[in-house]
Chain A
């Protein structure tokens, strides 16, 4: 059964400092997604990572994927207040019925303090 672990659950960040969120998954996957959720809002797609070694960057966010370690990281560079939100990683299984759905991590609540 595919399981996804995300940590930390909560991250209090200082502006202009760097931080990393980790996402581990338990079985083979062929893609990994990062989403952002603002309070009371739906999920906004940030990155789709399709292969080992994939790295994608958008603004102050950079996501990478190591399929051998079954690990993805979301790196935040020089945090700013508008990055405050909950971030989810989600993994899609590689075989059978697991390809039909996303398994989500627990989410990481980011709060950027001035």
Chain B
């Protein structure tokens, strides 16, 4: 079956413009994650969606960043008033089960990653 898809694969924008990045998770996966990969910061968690629960936004670096997940499937990450430090590869991942943790053993949820969107802010 199809894996996680992301679009666009590359985006070049000017400082101050808004951008939208799209993620289409694996069909049936209830959990969706956004990560950012940059030279200076490595791989960082941004936001997590699980079903209809309130998203975990704890990784968003500023209020210029927001994300939505419509109908429990496709997600859009929006960056407003882009800055040069936003340049990075934005990776989306999805998984089939929730959480896990010692309080929820067996919540096995391997994350499958999409190809990423390379964002360059000039």
Instruction: Flag if A42 contacts B116 (CB, 8 Å).
Output: yes
Contacts of B115 in A (CB 8 A): 41-42
Quick one: given A30-B105, A88-B43, A107-B42, are A99 and B113 in contact (CB under 8 Å)?
no
Q: How far apart are the CA atoms of A98 and B48 in the complex, in Å?
A: 11
Contacts of B104 in A (CB 8 A): 99
Which A positions have Cβ atoms within 8 angstroms of B? 28, 30-31, 33, 35, 41-45, 48, 50, 88, 90, 92-107
Q: How far apart are the CA atoms of A95 and B35 in the complex, in Å?
A: 20
Which B positions have Cβ atoms within 8 angstroms of A? 33, 35, 42-45, 48, 50, 56, 58-59, 91, 93, 99-105, 107-108, 110-116
Q: How far apart are the CA atoms of A101 and B59 in the complex, in Å?
A: 9
Q: Is the interface of B mostly helix, strand, loop or mixed?
A: loop
Contacts of A35 in B (CB 8 A): 113
Contacts of B42 in A (CB 8 A): 104-107
Which B residue sits closest to A50, measured CB to CB?
Answer: B108
Instruction: Flag if A45 contacts B112 (CB, 8 Å).
Output: yes
Quick one: given A45-B110, A92-B100, are A101 and B45 in contact (CB under 8 Å)?
yes
Instruction: Flag if B91 contacts A30 (CB, 8 Å).
Output: no
Contacts of A42 in B (CB 8 A): 91, 113-116
For the complex with contacts A35-B113, A43-B93, 9 further pairs of A-B residues with Cβ separation under 8 Å are A30-B100, A30-B101, A94-B102, A95-B102, A98-B101, A101-B56, A102-B45, A103-B45, A104-B42
Q: How far is the CB of A90 from chain B (nearest CB, A)?
A: 8
Interface pairs (23), CB distance under 8 Å: A30-B105, A42-B114, A42-B115, A42-B116, A50-B108, A92-B100, A93-B101, A94-B101, A95-B101, A95-B103, A96-B101, A98-B101, A99-B100, A100-B48, A100-B56, A101-B45, A101-B48, A102-B35, A102-B111, A104-B35, A104-B42, A106-B42, A107-B43
